[in-house]
Amino acid sequence: FDVTHSLQIPGGRSDSAGGRRQAVSELMLAGMSQGIGGLFLESHPNPAEAKCDGPCALPLDQLEAFLKQAKAMDDLVKGFQPLDVK
């Protein structure tokens, strides 16, 4: 699941795409709640200075906490027994 590119706003800035970085955690949790098998995301030490995709990139200093949340949600969701709905 491509978390950060899903937050892009094409044409959001005059010379490049914009983005909604502030929603990265919520979108990751929504994806993980569906039992996805992997995440893709972009991170940068200073997203405001990134050459591309800065508006949707996760600040590097928040990556560890982000991944801990992702792992916790993955463990929770994959720990449920499947329902046999007929």
Examine residue 19 and state whether it is found in any structural domain, yes or no. yes
Examine residue 17 and state whether it is found in any structural domain, yes or no. yes
For the entire predicted model, the pTM comes to 0.81
Q: Could you say which DSSP state residue 7 is in?
A: G
Examine residue 34 and state whether it is found in any structural domain, yes or no. yes
Examine residue 60 and state whether it is found in any structural domain, yes or no. yes
Give the range of the structural domain holding residue 49, as residue numbers without chain letter: 5-78
Q: Could you say which DSSP state residue 86 is in?
A: -
What is the bridge-based pairing of β-strands 43-44 and 58-59? Answer: parallel
Residue 54 sits at φ, ψ, to 5 deg, of -55, -40
Count the alpha carbons within 13 Å of 17 in the hemisphere toward its beta carbon.
Answer: 15
Examine residue 83 and state whether it is found in any structural domain, yes or no. no
Looking at the structure of the chain, the number of domains it has is 1
Residue 9 has a pLDDT of 79
Residue 65 has a pLDDT of 97
Residue 50 has a pLDDT of 87
Please indicate whether residue 16 or residue 47 has the higher confidence score (pLDDT): 47
Q: What is the pLDDT of residues 41-82, one digit of tens each?
A: 999 999 989 888 888 899 999 999 999 999 999 999 999 998
Examine residue 86 and state whether it is found in any structural domain, yes or no. no
Examine residue 84 and state whether it is found in any structural domain, yes or no. no
Mean pLDDT, the chain, rounded, equals: 88
